Amino acid sequence: MKALCWEGVNKLSVEEVPDPTLRNDQDVIVRLRAGTTCGSDLHLIGGYIPAMRAGDVIGHEFLGEVVETGSAVRRHSVGDRGVVCSFVGCGRCWYCANDLWSLCDNTNTNPGIGQALLGYETGSVFGYSHAMGGLRGSHAEYVRVPFADYGAFHVPEGLDDTSALFASDSVPTGWMGADLSG
């Protein structure tokens, strides 16, 4: 498949990379229908986020069609249209259970790097450095979505892709900012 890869500071390129595969029973694979660029992608491009490797696929705001499901997935079926949260949460640790999903204890596969850099590891974010989990990003034709029952949401009929896409990151980010400021 084709994907947008980080190649170095201020250097991106579209590359042919291997398709993602199901790695865990709670994964789904989605085919991208819509994706967008976040301001946070600029931090990667500008070199302000360490722990990037040449060839890493970036991108974390997306909506797609489910094309494959793991054996433990219960809320999604092949053909479903879903918008995916940028952060990956397991849905069952203390942080997820208390709506602090970005601190999920079980989704960062590189916890030691996050701890060394930040003092405590975050949960995983699609395409956002190896310090934040090392998962592939969404500027690609296909994306693997771990713990999809908790981080991917059905898009109702009648709502177009472009409108639903912003539920991935932009809307919740703005909502949280407004909520925190009272």
Task: Give contact residues for another protein (rule: CB under 8 A).
Answer: 3, 5, 8-9, 15, 17-18, 20-21, 23-26, 47-57, 72, 90-94, 97, 105-107, 109-117, 119, 121, 124, 130, 134-136, 144, 146-147
- CB nearer to another protein: give 39 or 119: 119
Residue 46 or residue 174: which is nearer to another protein going by CB? 46
Reported residue count of the chain is 182
CB of 63 to another protein, least distance (A): 20
Toward another protein, which CB reaches closer, 137 or 155? 137
Nearer CB in complex with another protein: 12/93: 93
Q: Provide the minimum distance between the beta carbon of 153 and another protein in the complex, in angstroms, as a whole number.
A: 19
Q: How far is the CB of 160 from another protein (least distance, A)?
A: 30
* Rounded least distance, CB 18 to another protein, Å: 5
Cβ contact 70:24 at 8 Å: yes
Nearest to 173 by CA among 25, 36, 34, 33: 36
Provide the minimum distance between the beta carbon of 132 and another protein in the complex, in angstroms, as a whole number: 12
Tell me whether residue 124 or residue 168 sits nearer to another protein (CB atom). Answer: 124
Burial class of 120 by CB neighbour count within 10 A (0 to 12, 13 to 18, 19+)? exposed
